[in-house]
Structure 1
Amino acid sequence: TTLRWSAQLPNTPVAIDRGNFMGLAGCLILLTEEGDVTLCYMGTEPTMFVPPPLQESALSSSEVETKLHTLQHQIATYSQSAKNSLGAPVGRPDLKISLKVWPMLEGDSTCKLEVVIQAMTMIHSLHVNVCVTHPLVAVPNTHFVQNLGESIDLYSAVSLVASYTAPWELEANILAVYLRSDMTSGSAEASIVLPSPLVLELAPPAKESEASLYLSTPHPVILPTIFPEFGADSWNETGSNENVAGFKYKNFPDLTFTLSVNKGQQKYRIDSNSVSAITLPLNILSRKMENKSLKTAQHTFALNELLDATDNNIELRNQIRALQEKIKVGTAQMRAVQRRMLSKMRDKTPSDLTALSELITYTNDHVMQLSHDIETAQKDLRENCTRLGNLVKMTVLLIKMTGSVNAEDLKQFSEALSHTEFISESQGWAEASEAGLNYMLRTTLARSMREQYMPPFSEESVVTNSNNLKKYIAVTIDRMVKSIRREDRAVSPILEGEEDGHLKEGFHSPRPTLYEDFDTEVKKLLSQSSIAETVMSDVD
C-alpha cells in the first residue's frame, strides 16, 4: 500500500467508503456518529469538501392554510372555466381493473383474490398494490409488470395472521400505478369486500356479555341474509337461527360476539366480551343496511376504550424514544471501548485486557437486550395502531348513526382522527390527530371568537402527554352530536379580554385560560356520560 495523500479529519468516522463524486476518482466518503457526511479528495493540495446542510423551508400553520386556500381557489376557478374538471380523465381510461374473490371452501383460512387488468392504451411499468388492514395480510402484496399487453391476470392470497386485536374491515383496495407511452404517469384503483368466513366462524350464542350495543331500524332483516356465506349446517350445529347468531374470530377465538334481533320492536343488539370485537359486525351491518336507516343513541359506546388506547399509544412511543436514547449511549460506549482495546493491543508494553473484554461483552449484551426491547415495543405499537383504527372506525360509525351530525363536520372529524396507521419517528397518530382536532375546535366547532385564537398545534411538537388529546376527542364528539357550530351563534368579534381595552396577559402561554374552558366543558360532559373514570383525573 502506498500513501498518495492525507487530510486531517475534524471528527472520528464510524463508516468509510470509496466513491466517485463528480469525476473525482479515489475520494473517501466518511460518516460520523452525528450523521454528518464528509467527502475527502485530492486536489491541487489536500482539500476537504463538506456538503452544505439542506435548506428546509419550514412553514407555519398560517402559511400552510393561506397556500391551501389559494390552491383551492385556483382549482375552483379552473373547474368553472375549463371544459373538463381538474383531474378528470380525458377520453377513455388507460386501463380497467376487474376484481374477483374465489369461493372459500369449508375450513379454508385463506381466500384467493384475482385482479384482471385490461389495457385500453399502451402502458408499461405497471405496479399493482394489494392493500388490506392488519391483521389481514396479502401475499404477494405487490405485482410488477414491465410491458402490459391486452390484459393480465394477477393473483394474491389474503389470510389472517395471529393477533390480539380483532379485524375491523374486510375491504381490499387495489392501486395500480403505471407509465404511458409519452412517459407520463397514471393511476387507477378499485376495491372489493372479502367474505366474512375469512375472519369469522359461527359459534354458540353467548348468554353473558361485557358490552352491549343497541341498534334500531324500521325495516325487518333476517340474520342469514346478512351472512349468506355460512351454510345451513353451520347455523344448525351452533344453535344459531334467524333471530340470534353467535360468532368468534379465527385469529383470536376468545373474542366473540352475539347478534340478536327483536322482531317486535325492530331492534338489534350486539353483545360481546370486548368492545373492539363489535366494530366488524357493526361495519357489516352498516354496509349491508345502508339504505335502511340504522340508528343508535350510543355515540360514546367506544369512548372509554378509545381514550385508553390513546394513552397506550403515547406511552409506547415514549418508551421507544427512551430505548433509542439508551441504545445510542450503549453503541457509543461500545465503540469507545473497542478503540481503547485497539490502542492497548498496539502498545509495546503488554497489559491485561480482561477488564476491557468483560466490558465489551457486557455492553454487547446490553445493546442486544435494548434491541429486543425496541422490537417488542414496536410490535406492541403495531397492535395498538390496529386497535386505535378499530375504535376510531366504530366511533365514526356510531356518530353517523345518531343522525344529528352535520355531514361536513363528520367528514372533517374522520380525517382529523384518522384510523390510518402512523408508524413514524417524527410524526405519529397522536401528533396528526391533535393537530387536526385543534384545527376543528379553532374553526368549524369554535363556540366563540376567543376559541378562534387558541394557539395552533406546533408542527415540531411531539405529543408526550395524552391529556390535551383526550380532551380534544371528548369535546369534539360532544359538540358534533349537539350540532354546535360557530356560524349558528352570534359571536362578538372582540375578544373578551379586549372589551374593556385590555388584552388578558398570558393568553398565548402554553396553557392559556382557554384550556380551563375545555376542562369545565369536559367535566360537564363526563358527569353525563360513561367516560368519567377514564379522564376525570386528567382534567383535575
Structure 2
Amino acid sequence: MSLFKARDWWSTVVGEQEEFDQGCLCVADIDNSGNDKIIVGSYKGILRIYSPQPAKPGAALHPEELILELQLQDPILQVEVGKFVSGTELLHLAVLHARKLSVYAFSGTMGTVEHGNQYQLKLMYEHNFQRTACNLTFGGFGGVKGRDLICIQSMDGMLTFFEQESFAFGRFLPGCLLPGPLKYSSRTDSFITVSSSRQVENYKYQVLAIATDAESRQDSEQQKLGSGKRLTRDWMVNIGEQALDICVVSFNQATSSILVLGERNLFCFKENGQLRFMKKLEYNPSCFLPYTSVLEGTINTLIGNHNNKLLIYQDVTLKWVAQLPHVPVSVHVANFQDLKGVVVTLSDGGHLQCSYLGTDPSFFQAPKVESRELDYDEMDTEMKELLKVIKEATKSQDILHKAEKDDDLKVAVSVSPSLDVISQAADNTVDTAVPSISLKVTIWSRFAVQDVKLSVCVQSPLAVTQDQLHFAAIESGMSRSVTLSVFLKENFPPADLGGDAAVSYSTPTGVPRIVWCMFSLPLNLICQPIQPSKNAAHKITIDTNQPPVSLSSIFPDFLGESDDEQKNVLGFKFLSGATVTLLASKTSSRYRIQCDQFEDLWLITKELIQRLEEYFVREEAKDFRCMFPGPLPLQEYFQLIDRHFELRINAEKYKELLSERAVQYRAIQRRLLTHFKDKTPTPLRNLDTLLDGTYRQLAALADAAEENQANLYQVFTRLKSGTHLFVQLIGLWQNLSPDEMTILKATFLPLMQDSQELGWEECVDAAVAHLLRTCLSKSSRDQTLSSTSQLSMPKDTNRLKKHITLLCDRLSKGGRLSLTTDGAQQESTISGCQTILESELEERMKDSATDETFSDHKHIMQKSPKSGHSQDATEESPAIPEDR
C-alpha cells in the first residue's frame, strides 16, 4: 500500500495565535444556497465563515472567500447549524459560549457594484446559563418534525434542554464526575454519552423528560451519591477507556450504528448497545468522521491521528492513508460548487485545509549520477580535518557561554559607588531604616538577537527590586541598560555579598546561549560604623607576613563613628543589630575580630582579608599571606550545626502532628455527616465541640510550623556564614592552595537551599566521609568508614561532628585535599604522624555526649604543619588590646 499526501485544493491559516478544538469547525449550507460554507469559531471569540472558490487547486486565499468575520465577546466552544428558530425551517447558526448560547440568522445581499456580496449575522435569541457549558447536541427530541431542539451539557453533568426560544427542563446525569462527548440518535430518540467511568451510556429522552427529583421519592436512600435526578439508563457498555468523540450514523446501505472513538480503539455498536465490531488502533487518534457507505452493510470512516495522517477505514479494513501538513482536531466532508466530497480539516493552531484524496502525475525525472573515480587521499585528508574540528569543538564545549571566547553578546554590571539617596527598599522586615544601592546592567549585542531574558540573583536575605526582565529584541551593535536596586529584606545578614547577572538568548542561527557575569556589593549596604565594643564572646586572630597597616587606610568608608586618636580600632553594626569590633596591633602584624555571635564574624573577616590583599597589591608587596594560628573554633561551629538540626527535627514533629490532627478532623467530619443525614435526629454527643477544638489545634500547629520554617530559613543562612568562616580559617591555618579551597568549599557548602528531603547535615557528612576514605585516608582501615548510598536525615549530629573533627586532625598532620590522590600516596605524605582512628573517637564520644567532648581535641588543632610543635590551648595570643 502506498502512502500519498492529501492533495491541497484550498487552505488558509485562521487568525494569529488562536486556539481551536473539536467543536470549533462546522460545514453546512448556512445561507440556504445549495453550497456548503465553512464556519470556524476560535477560543478568542472570533467567528469566521468561508466560501472557498479557488481558481485552481492550491491557490492562495482571496479576500472575497472570507465572507464574514465577527468578533464576539466570549470564547466559542462549539458551532452548529440547524433549524433552531420557530416558525421557519431555514437553517440558523448556534454558537455555544461558556455561559451563553446565541442563535443567529445568516443572510447575504447580492452586490451590484465591484465590492461584491455583503453578508451579515442577525441575533435571533440568547440563552444565559447558570452553569459552565461543555458541549451541545441537537435534533428532533421526542419525535418532533420540522424543527431542532437543543441540549446543553454543563461541566457538572447537567443536561439543559431548550425548545428553541424557550427553556424546557434540566436533568443531572447520575454519577457524573466529568462530562464526556454527547450525541442524539433520532431513530431511538435517545442520548448517547461516555461517562467518566469509561462506560457508553444511553438515556431515553422520554425518561429524561418525566424524571423527578430524588428527594420527593420514598426510596431516596437508594439513590447514588451525587445524583440529583432519578434517571435510569436504557443500556450501558464498558469500553475501558476515555472517548474522544461519538457519531450516530444511518446510511441507506448500512444499519444504523453508534461509533465511539476511544484513545486506542474504534468501537461500533448497534442501537441496542450490542457491539458490531471493534478496531484496535496502533496510534493516537485526534478526530474521526463516518461519512458514507459504499458496500451494503459497511461504513467508511475518516480518522485523523497525531502523526499528521488521515486514514480511511471500511469497517475495520484500512483502505487509504494520506499525509496531512498538520494534526487535525476536527474533520468534515463538504460539497463546494460542482466538487463533492472535499475533506475539510482544522488543526489546533488554525490551519484550515480543503483537500482531496488521490494522486497527481509527477513529471520529475531523477538526473543521471555522474560516475567518477574516488580519490582516497583526498578523502583521508578531509576526514582528518573533520576529526580535528570535532575534537576542538568537544574540548571547547561549555554549558555556559563565556563572553571572553565569543563577543556576540556581552553583559556588564556596574555597582554604584554610593548608596541611593532615596532608599528603594520595599516590603522588608528590618527594624531600622534600610538603605539600597543601584546596579546598572548593560547588555551589548554584536548581532540582532530575539527573546533576551535577564536574571539578576543575589544572596538571600538580600533582594532586588526586579530580578527578571525580558527584552523582545536587541538590534545589531546596540546596547540596552537597566537600573535596579538591591537592599536587605529580612532582619539577619547574608552569607555572601556577591551576586550574578545571567542573560539567555538565541543566536541568529537558533543556538541557545547564556552569558553571565558576577558582581560584588559593598559592605556598607548591610552595616554601618559604630563605636567599638571592648568585650565580646567570640574572637579570632589573623596574622600576616607584612608590616602592620592602619585600619584608616584600608577602611576609609567606616571611620565616621571611631575615635580620631585610635585609628587601629573600628566598630561595625549590622542592620540586624549585631556589633563587630576590628582591632589592629600597632607593633605586630596581627588583627583581631570579635563579636557576640560567631557567624557574624564572617563578613568582616572576609572584607579584612580582601582589603589587605588589595592594599599590598597596590604597594607591590610580594608573597603577602594571611595566617590563622589556631585553635579552630570547633565548639562554636558545632553549636551552629546543632541549632540548625534541632529546627529540622521540630519541622518533622510539626509535620507528624499536623497529619494526625488532619486525620482526626476528617474522622469527626464523617461522624457529623452521618448524624446530619440521619432521618431521626440524634444528639451530637459533643462532636461539634471536638471538631472546633481540633480545628483550633490545626490552626495553631500550622502557625507554629510556619514560624519554625522561617526560623529554619534564617538559621540555615547563619550556618552558611559560619561554614564560610570555618572553611576560611582552615585554609589560613593549613595554607591550602586554591584548588584545595575549592574542594573544601564544595564539601562544606553543597547546597544553596535547605529542605527536609535533602538537608545540609547528610550532604556534608557524605562528602567529608568520602574525603576521609580517599585523599585523607591513613590506612586500609579508614577505607571502611561507614557510608550510605541513600542520603537520609540522621538521628543526631554526633557522626557528622566526629567526621569533621577527624578531617581537621588529618589536615593538621600534613594531609592534603586532592580528587586524584589515592590512599598509598597520602600515607607517604602524612607518614610519621600518629593519627587518631575513628574507633578511638567513637570511644571518646561514648564517654561524654555533650559538645564539650570536642574541646578535648583542641590540642590536635594547635599543631603547626611546619614546625611540628604544639601550643597550649589555654595560651592567649598576644594581647592586641594592650598594644592599642
Q: Indicate whether the TM-score tops 0.5.
A: yes
Query: How far off is 1:528 after superposition?
Result: 4.2
- Within 5 Å, give how 1:343-422 maps onto structure 2: 343-353=674-684, 355-405=686-736, 407-418=738-749, 420-422=751-753
Point out the structure with max Rg over C-alpha. Answer: 2
User: 1:17-36 alignment to 2 at 5 Å?
Assistant: none
Is 1:296 matched up with 2:628?
A: yes
Note if 1:85 corresponds to 2:85. Answer: no
Distance in structure 2 (CA, Å) of the matches to 1:126 and 1:442:
46
Residue by residue over 1:262-288, the C-alpha shift from the partner in whole angstroms, topping out at 9 and shown as x without a partner, is 232122122222222211111112222
More strand by share: 2
**Shift, 1:406, TM fit:** 5.3
Residue 11 of structure 1 corresponds to none
Structure 1 residues 531 and 6 mapped into 2: Cα distance closer, same or farther (>3 Å)? farther
Change (3 A) 1:17 1:359: farther
Give the Å deviation of 1:257.
1.6
Question: Which stretch has the larger CA shift, 151-160 or 192-201?
Answer: 151-160
SS at match of 2:770: helix
2:437 to 104, 107, 111: 111
Deviation at 1:531, TM superposition (A): 11
1:46-445 paired onto structure 2 within 5 Å: 47=240, 81-82=391-392, 84-87=395-398, 92-102=406-416, 103-104=418-419, 109-149=435-475, 150-163=478-491, 165-217=492-544, 218-230=546-558, 234-235=560-561, 239=564, 241-252=566-577, 255-290=578-613, 292-298=624-630, 300-301=632-633, 303-353=634-684, 355-405=686-736, 407-418=738-749, 420-445=751-776
**Counterpart position of 2:839:** 516
Alpha-carbon distance in structure 2 between the residues aligned to 1:46 and 1:530: 78
Per the TM alignment, residue 323 of structure 1 is displaced from its structure 2 partner at its CA by 1.1
Q: 1:529 aligns with which of 858, 864, 869?
A: 858
Task: Please report how far the alpha carbon of residue 175 of structure 1 lies from its aligned counterpart in structure 2 after TM superposition.
Answer: 2.5
Aligned letter for 2:664?
Q
Q: Quote the Cα distance in structure 2 between the aligned partners of 1:392 and 1:169.
A: 11
User: Identity rate of aligned residues, in percent?
Assistant: 23
After TM superposition, give the deviation of residue 377 of structure 1 in Å: 0.9
User: How far apart, in 2, do the equivalents of 1:94 and 1:434 lie?
Assistant: 43
Q: Which amino acid aligns with 1:175?
A: A
Is the 2:631–2:858 Cα contact (8 Å) retained in structure 1?
no
1:310 deviates by: 1.2
Asked if the contact 1:405–1:480 (Cα under 8 Å) also holds between the matched residues in 2, the reply is no
Is the 2:675–2:682 Cα contact (8 Å) retained in structure 1?
yes
Give, in angstroms, the shift of residue 117 of structure 1. 1.6
Give CA-to-partner distance per residue, 1:499-540, whole Å, 9 cap, x none: xxxxxxxxxxxxxxx7424436889974341899xxxxxxxx
| Maintained 8 Å contact 1:245/1:259 | yes
* d(CA) in 1 for partners of 2:413, 2:641: 36
Distance (Å, rounded) in 1 between the aligned partners of 2:827 and 2:388 = 34
Q: CA deviation at 1:464?
A: 2.6
Q: One-letter code of the match for 1:98?
A: A
**TM-score when normalising by structure 1:** 0.75
One-letter amino acid matched to 2:691: I
Task: Check conservation: 1:314, 1:463, Cα contact below 8 A.
Answer: no
Quote how far apart the aligned CAs of 1:241 are: 4.7
Alpha-carbon contact 2:456-2:467 (below 8 Å) kept: yes
Cα distance change of structure 1 residues 179 and 282 upon mapping to structure 2, 3 Å threshold: same
Residues 137-181 of structure 1 show CA distances to partners (whole Å, capped at 9, x for unaligned) of 222233233434432222322112342x44342222223333444
Q: SS at the partner of 1:259?
A: strand
Ranked by relative contact order (alpha carbons within 8 Å, sequence separation 6 or more), the top structure is 1
1:295 maps to a residue whose letter is M
What secondary structure does 2:654 align onto?
helix
Partner AA of 2:444 in structure 1: Q
Structure with bigger helix share is 1
SS of equivalent to 2:627: coil
Tell me whether 1:489 sits opposite 2:827 in the alignment: yes
Q: Kindly provide the amino acid, as one letter, of the partner of residue 304 in structure 1.
A: Q
With over 3 angstroms needed to count, the CA separation of the structure-2 counterparts of 1:355 and 1:235, relative to structure 1, is closer
Question: What is the number of residues matched between the two proteins?
Answer: 454
For residues 176 and 45 of structure 1, the distance between their equivalents in structure 2, rounded to whole angstroms, comes to 54
| Partner SS for 2:439 | strand
Query: What code does the residue aligned with 1:293 have?
Result: R
Q: Distance in 2 between matches of 1:268 and 1:335?
A: 63
Question: 1:223–1:242: 8 Å Cα contact kept in structure 2?
Answer: yes
Deviation at 1:354, TM superposition (A): 6.3
Change in CA separation of 1:180 and 1:220 when aligned onto 2, cut-off 3 Å:
same
Q: Give the structure 1 partner of residue 365 of structure 2.
A: none
SS of structure 1 residue aligned to 2:686: helix
Shift of 1:203: 0.9
SS at match of 1:413: helix
SS at match of 2:496: coil
**Measured at CA, do residues 78 and 315 of structure 1 come closer, stay the same or move farther in structure 2, by a change above 3 Å?**
farther
Q: How far apart are the structure 2 equivalents of 1:312 and 1:79?
A: 55
Deviation per residue, 1:328-347 (Å, 9 max, x gap): 12222222222332232222
Question: Given that residues 602 and 725 in structure 2 are in contact (C-alpha distance below 8 angstroms), is that contact kept between their aligned partners in structure 1?
Answer: yes
Q: Is the 8 A contact 2:570 2:582 kept in 1?
A: yes
Separation (CA, whole Å) in 2 of partners of 1:413 and 1:518? 22
- Alignment partner of 2:788: what SS? coil
SS at match of 1:383: helix
For 2:632, the aligned partner's letter is T
Q: For 1:227-257, what per-residue CA distance to the aligned partner results, in whole angstroms no more than 9, with x for missing partners?
A: 2334x6x256x557532211211222xx112
Q: Structure 2 CA distance, aligned partners of 1:143 and 1:19?
A: 42
**1:293-314: CA deviations, max 9, x gaps?**
111112513x222211211222
Once the 2 structures are TM-superposed, how far is the Cα of residue 390 of structure 1 from its aligned partner? Answer: 0.6
> Contact between 2:402 and 2:516, CA under 8 Å: does it hold in 1?
no
In 2, Cα distance between the equivalents of 1:200 and 1:412? 31
User: Which range is displaced more, 450-459 or 242-251?
Assistant: 450-459
Tell me the CA shift for residue 407 of structure 1: 4.7
- Cα displacement (A) at 1:450: 2.0
CA distance in 1, matches of 2:504, 2:637: 35
Instruction: Name the stretch that deviates more: 376-385 or 256-265.
Output: 256-265
Identify if the C-alpha distance between structure 1 residues 225 and 372 changes in structure 2 by more than 3 Å, giving closer, same or farther: same
CA drift at 1:403? 4.3
